[in-house]
A and B are shown apart, each in its own frame.
Chain A
């Protein structure tokens, strides 16, 4: 027999259970140790916490990271890459200026801190632009070289909200206004990869806006944020990312797991075109049989719901058949013999 045929598993093999055990057993040996990434976002969860994060398909990982490669025209020189990185990094108004409210005069005063602004390459015109964009209809006065005053008054569309309330709200909003960079990108550092190419490692999310920049090579952008990849690049990208991330977690702990088990897990999570978690709110919660779901978690909820909708359990799953006391439809139990009457 050739090796290919040998590698094919038997019909009705319990591939899911085997995959679950093969991933679960090394999981018990994982340490809680975290590893350090160069530069950005220290303590990126690895090991068990990270695995749980992936399998639960959290909306956002604890430490979202983006690897941004630039088009070859830019990626040669480190300084150019650094320039782009600086432009990507988001800077909020509060990082370069003091935003203070003056209730008596009903104004908000924005005073730039020259040293901070210089260090972050922020000019007063950028600040002015950002303020104008946020306050829209209100007047912005340039009081001094680096001081702006927003006069708050009753404006259309705010209804009968008192002016002071608007003032308060606006102060907070201004402090969080983006002056420069791409929203969501917290820090961006230039790193060299194995082949000596420079790329940007940023912490945060919002790869959509990053991709829109000309310098960025959109075919090579990657983030460990599986859910974001799914939304922007589709389910297949998310599936691949899941496999990649889980593989990385296992490798980092020096645990050997056959890639096919990981692929099966990712397949199961992505089979419906959306990334589902393992557990109550995902895969297990959507099992076909009532008995199977009731046996897992929230027993009474499932039973009551099944009763209300007069649900029928056709006993297709393993658990259901064990509960009832029948041969389980897997492996030997699924094989049937038929006899041809004419012979």
Chain B
């Protein structure tokens, strides 16, 4: 490659690469590129070809391969768009199609490389002779996620980024065939709505058919500290009517697995002689086939699929000379702390050919304190209070907000789009129309002001509200109106966790970790350092020993080795030196393990005991 480049530089000719391979040289790179492009526009070359001319290195890259992301632009020549009014007219009349435009060279696709050679205007008005292309619509500069956000040009950049990532966490209708699907985890909104204020891309992407959100009536005011620091107050009656309500679907799987030796799992109701039998009650929801009955209400650790496995080791031959088959219980049960109704049961075959049972459990998730909501402007909030509708402020028309947002959320974040969306949706709802909030081309504030004025309303969307408790009018006009809100994936009910007592790890006898294992919260090194810093040595001892892995071990006073208690002789003995001078000592089980590990290094750790001074 270096050799080739040297050669090329010597001759002062332009190197040409096709799909990354050097194919030849040319005297006039710029001219060649121009001709290739012209031929592409006149259909002499395939329209999927892209050319990039690197003037500095004097190299041409022609790409014809698959996998390039390409975007269509209107071709511009001498400051004139090739999409002339005549063509537009024909297009509108249906005489021309998109394919026609490409064939005619009115529109061409650029890839990331060729884009570097172009100068693209956002609108026809700003065209100059230097321009090479024109963007079809200005909002096309946005990607899929950001182009469904309303009024991004009125928001600060970081908030747009946040709004995009939050839109991906919103709960709605993720697929229209959700009743047929067995996703491991899925959420469906009860009453999804399309936004009153939406963008062109929203409809182009068919998002109105799989919405993820609802139009909330939002008042912007503080409420007794319950919406401090990105908290939101919500209307209980609105929640009761189904606002923000979603259904959670979870799929559990059980497979009849094959074991070496031809043995197999069996899906059935385990009998009382099964090893690990959980008692009649645990299997009460199972049908005769060992699978739960659909529409039964399940909770906690109830069994969904009864299953028995062959024993792990070969059984001893019993007194009567027959091999007793003791089966092992290996049922599938609902995760601890979960609750729901059996939505659907499916029996199929696993890729391995084994019988496979899939069970879909549904549980409704009503919004509760701690759930997360967000508008489409990066304005997220956590519900801090559910207020009865009677106590909510109301307008003279009887409009009660669904959600109360704290005004402090607005100025420092500069999400003017949030306010503009509220205003626009308010005007739209008065008109009974869906309004346009597409970036750069959407309706303006003036449009909305005009509509509201015509209806005799406050032109800036502010209204007098009355306190729901005292009935007195609130001293200032409040900004209130409908705005599209999303319920985000982070539901407290899926995260809430506490432990006082619970399971411990097998090896260390220390508490387990993680919500799924009912675990404790780690009291780590730095936390320990803090307690030491306070001089609270009794607390340190309690956290690290009493509440963790305290054990009683026997220590031989002769040789310093760990001893044991002989149950048969009811005596303490040292298994190393045989001495009976053995005393019980409290220590952490972790230390006992450490002693064992040290011994495994061929080091003999002695414990020398002394009386406490």
Are A331 and B591 in contact (CB-based, < 8 A)? no
Partner of A14, one of B532, B544, B588, B608: B532
| Cα distance, A334 to B540, chains bound together (Å) | 13
| Contact flag A324-B603 (CB < 8 Å), given A17-B532, A330-B532, A330-B535 | no
Q: Which of A10, A20, A300, A326 has the largest count of B CB atoms less than 10 A from its CB?
A: A326
Taking a contact as CB atoms under 8 Å apart, the answer to whether A14 and B533 are in contact is yes
Closest B residue by C-beta to A307: B603
CA distance A228 to B357 in the complex (A): 76
Docked complex: A304-342 residues within 8 A CB-CB of B = 304, 306-307, 312, 318, 322-334, 336
Given contacts A21-B529, A303-B603, A322-B528, whether A328 and B537 have CB atoms under 8 Å apart is: yes
- Interface members, chain B 520-564 (any A CB < 8 Å): 528-530, 532-538, 540-541, 544-545, 550
| CB of A132 to closest CB in B, whole Å | 52
With A304-B603, A322-B540, A333-B538 known to touch, is A328 a contact of B532 (CB < 8 Å)? Answer: yes
Q: B601 — nearest CB in chain A belongs to which residue?
A: A303
Once the chains bind, are A324 and B591 in contact (CB under 8 Å)? Answer: yes
- A328 x B529 contact (CB < 8 A): no
Q: When chains A and B are docked, how far (Å) is the Cα of A12 from the Cα of B587?
A: 24
Contact B532 A323 (CB under 8 A): no
B430 at interface, CB cutoff 8 A: no
B536: contacting residue among A18, A303, A332, CB under 8 A? A332
A17 vs B588: C-alpha distance when bound (angstroms): 24
Total interface residues on A, CB under 8 Å, equals 29
In the complex with contacts A304-B603, A307-B603, A325-B533 CB distance below 8 A? no
Are B603 and A332 in contact, CB atoms less than 8 angstroms apart?
no
Assess the B533–A18 pair: CB atoms within 8 A. Answer: yes
Q: Which chain A residues border B537 with CB–CB below 8 Å?
A: 327-334
Chain A residues whose CB sits within 8 angstroms of the CB of B590 once the complex forms? 323
B445: A residues at CB distance < 8 A = none
B566: interface (CB < 8 Å): no
Contact string against B for A residues 7-26, beta-carbon threshold 8 Å, 1 for contact and 0 otherwise: 00010111001101100000
* C-alpha spacing A68/B590, complex, angstroms: 58
B594 CB within 8 Å of chain A: yes
- Give Cα A325 to B601, complex, Å: 22
B591 close to A325 (CB less than 8 A): yes
- A306 partner residues in chain B, CB cutoff 8 A: 603
Question: Is the Cβ of B603 less than 8 Å from the Cβ of A325?
Answer: no
Q: A17-B529, A323-B594, A325-B588 are in contact. Are A304 and B601 (CB under 8 A)?
A: yes
- Shortest A151–chain B CB gap in Å is 48
Q: CB-CB contacts of A278-317 with B at 8 A, as 1s and 0s?
A: 0000000000000000000000100110110000100000
The reply on B289 being an interface residue by CB < 8 A is no
| Distance between B286 CB and nearest chain A CB, rounded to angstroms | 46
Tell me the chain A residues, 65-118 only, with Cβ under 8 Å from chain B.
Answer: none
The reply on B586 being an interface residue by CB < 8 A is: yes
Nearest-neighbour CB distance to chain B for A337, whole angstroms, equals 12
Residue in contact with A332 in the complex, picked from B528, B535, B544, B587, CB distance below 8 Å: B535
Instruction: Say whether B598 faces chain A, with CB atoms less than 8 Å apart.
Output: yes
CB distance from A311 to the nearest CB of B (A): 11
> B541 is contacted by which of A303, A323, A326 (Cβ under 8 Å)?
A326
Chain B residues within an 8 Å CB radius of A318:
532
- Contacts known (A303-B603, A304-B603, A322-B528); A328 close to B540, Cβ less than 8 A: yes
Contact assessment for B594 and A325 in the assembled complex, using a CB-CB cutoff below 8 Å: no
B550 CB, min distance to chain A CBs, angstroms: 7
Chain A neighbourhood of B528, CB < 8 A: 322
Q: Which residues of B contact A307 (CB under 8 A)?
A: 601, 603-604
- Which residues of chain B come closer than 8 Å to A330, judged between CB atoms? 532, 535, 537
Contacts of B530 in A (CB 8 A): 21
Residue of A17, A300, A333 touching B601 (CB-CB under 8 A) = A300
Shortest beta-carbon distance from B350 to chain A in Å? 46
What residues on B are CB-neighbors of A328 within 8 Å? 532, 537, 540-541
Residues of B within 8 A of A17 (CB): 529, 532-533
Closest A residue to B548 by CB, please name it: A325
A contacts, CB < 8 Å to B: 10, 12-14, 17-18, 20-21, 300, 303-304, 306-307, 312, 318, 322-334, 336
List 10 A-B pairs, minimum CB-CB distance, nearest first.
A331-B535, A333-B537, A325-B588, A307-B603, A17-B533, A325-B587, A328-B537, A325-B545, A332-B537, A18-B533
B residues within 8 Å of A by Cβ? 528-530, 532-538, 540-541, 544-545, 550, 586-588, 590-591, 594, 598, 601, 603-604, 608, 613
**Chain A to chain B contacts (Cβ below 8 Å), 18 pairs:** A14-B533, A17-B532, A18-B533, A304-B603, A306-B603, A307-B601, A323-B594, A324-B587, A325-B587, A325-B588, A327-B538, A328-B537, A330-B532, A331-B535, A332-B538, A333-B538, A333-B540, A333-B541
Instruction: Beyond A323-B588, A331-B537, A333-B540, list 5 extra A-B contacts (CB 8 Å).
Output: A20-B529, A303-B603, A322-B544, A323-B590, A332-B538
